[in-house]
Each structure stands twice: as C-alpha cells, then as structure tokens.
Homo-oligomer: A and B are copies of this chain.
Amino acid sequence: MTMPRTYTRYAREAVTLLGEQIRLGRKQRRWTEKNLAERAGISRATLQKIENGDMGCAVGLVFEVAALVGVTLFDHDTPALARHTDHTRDKIALLPQRIKTGGEAVFDDF
C-alpha cells in the first residue's frame, strides 16, 4: 500500500469543476459519452474519468476534451494565446535565469 497523493482543496475543486463543465458542455451539444470520446480520440472510460474529475488524467487530454465542448480555460483565440505565452516568456526573461538560494529561506512576497 502506497500512501496516496494528497492535493490542496483548490486543486481538487478546480479539477472537479472542470469535469462538470465538460459534462455540461457535452450535454448541451447533445453528444453522448461515446460520441465525444470518439471525437477526442480517447476511450469512453477515460472520458468518464475526466468528467468525474479524476486527478490523474493527462492534462493534454483534459484540455483537448474541454476545448471540444467549448470550455476554454484561457482565451479561445489561439493567436492571442500564443501572444500571451510570448508575453509570459518575456517577463521570465527579465528575471534571473537561476535562483540562488543563499542556503534557504525565500519568501519575497513581492
């Protein structure tokens, strides 16, 4: 028996909500589980896990399915998304490439 992973409440609730939103989106489109699973190229069993908020599902599959039913976490516009990514990278570039922890203790709540 391996001690099961623990998650923060936020992480659990966020994944749960995402799953429910996917289920809602699917039903609004009148798609069956089988139907959506086929569109996404995954098995029905996996889709069920996703809709049930299983923490272990691959993030790529979850986002893929979400997008298919119109649930977008970020901007639905991909060019805008790419720009956002570039912008984030620009901000990272302004920070030191490596964090030098002087032993320990780092809080800097900017």
Indicate if A62 sits at the interface (CB-CB under 8 A): yes
How far in angstroms is the closest Cβ of chain B from A49?
Answer: 10
Q: A78-B13, A89-B20 are in contact. Are A101 and B32 (CB under 8 A)?
A: yes
Q: A5 touching B59 by the CB < 8 A rule?
A: no
Q: A30-B106, A78-B13, A108-B30 are in contact. Are A8 and B95 (CB under 8 A)?
A: no
Most buried by B among A9, A60, A107: A60
| A-to-B contact residues, CB < 8 Å | 5-18, 20-21, 23-24, 27-32, 35, 41, 54-64, 67-68, 72-74, 76, 78, 81-82, 84-85, 88-89, 91-92, 95-96, 99, 101, 106-110
